[in-house]
Amino acid sequence: MRLCGRITLAVGRFRLFRDSDLDFLEGVTGHIDLVQIRYGYVHLLDLKPEAAKEKHAMAQLFLYALALSTRTGIWLRNFVCGWFDEKDYFEFRPADVVLKMEKVGKDDMRKYIPRF
């Protein structure tokens, strides 16, 4: 329960997904379909029917990554999230979302994400 409260506060702090109709106080249910370690990144992958039409996949996967980062101590910058079906695949890095929402400059981003 304490972890859920922390995640809700973090989502509120970064003003993430404010246009979403998700109720973060209710929590997020579901499970991660696939976890892969590739090239030093933890990939959290979720099979979604009609992935191209999915509205809440990014918010759900972001919360999964934030929860795992908090519980394991693995930096959020080491996570990659994706959702897919038999014909489409979508991917994002949760750390990029946070840094862009917080309007961190490119010089400061280099401290957190090596590709900048």
Q: What is the pLDDT of residues 13-71, one digit of tens each?
A: 444 555 555 555 666 677 899 999 999 999 999 999 999 999 888 888 988 998 899 89
Per the structure, the complete domain to which residue 97 belongs is given by 2-112
25/11: higher pLDDT: 25
Residue type, 80: V
Residue 1 has pLDDT above 60, yes or no: no
Give residue 19's Cα distance to chain centre. Answer: 16
Distances (CA, A) of 92 to 3, 4, 89: 23, 22, 11
Total domain count, the chain? 1
Distances (CA, A) of 7 to 10, 15, 106: 5, 12, 26
CA 44 to CA 109: how far, in whole Å?
22
Instruction: Give which of 68, 46, 59, 71 is closest to 97, Cα–Cα.
Output: 59
